[in-house]
Amino acid sequence: GAVVSQHPSRVICKSGTSVKIECRSLDFQATTMFWYRQFPKKSLMLMATSNEGSKATYEQGVEKDKFLINHASLTLSTLTVTSAHPEDSSFYICSARAVSGRGEQYFGPGTRLTVT
């Protein structure tokens, strides 16, 4: 099956610093990638949708200047959490939709961010 990777899997950063999370589709091309966040014991919440070569579309209530998304190629999207604060600590999960086929969507393993 199609594989989506995320790097890093875990990151701890200090309050006020920025953190970049990478999402790669390893064996397929993805025109669209999605970023979710998940708090403990809660469901996944869609943050934004990014299309290769264009600006991301953010869901209501998600600050685009805080969560910078870049989708520079058909296999790579990055999420940068700027000026991170403890309340940004969460599990961030990316997902990629294949160009080919019927638009199947595959998920990465997630990145655990802890802001101290």
Of 82 and 112, which has the nearer Cβ to another protein? 112
Question: Under the criterion CB under 8 A, does residue 45 sit at the interface with another protein?
Answer: yes
Residue of the chain from 50, 77, 90, 95 that contacts another protein (CB under 8 A) = 95
The residues pairing with 97 across neighbouring beta strands, listed in sequence order, are 32, 105
Question: Under the criterion CB under 8 A, does residue 89 sit at the interface with another protein?
Answer: no
Question: Under the criterion CB under 8 A, does residue 8 sit at the interface with another protein?
Answer: no
Shortest spacing between CB 52 and another protein, in angstroms: 12
Buried b (16+ CB within 10 A) or exposed e, 32-70: bbbbbbeeeeeeeeebbbbebeeebebeeebeeeebbbe
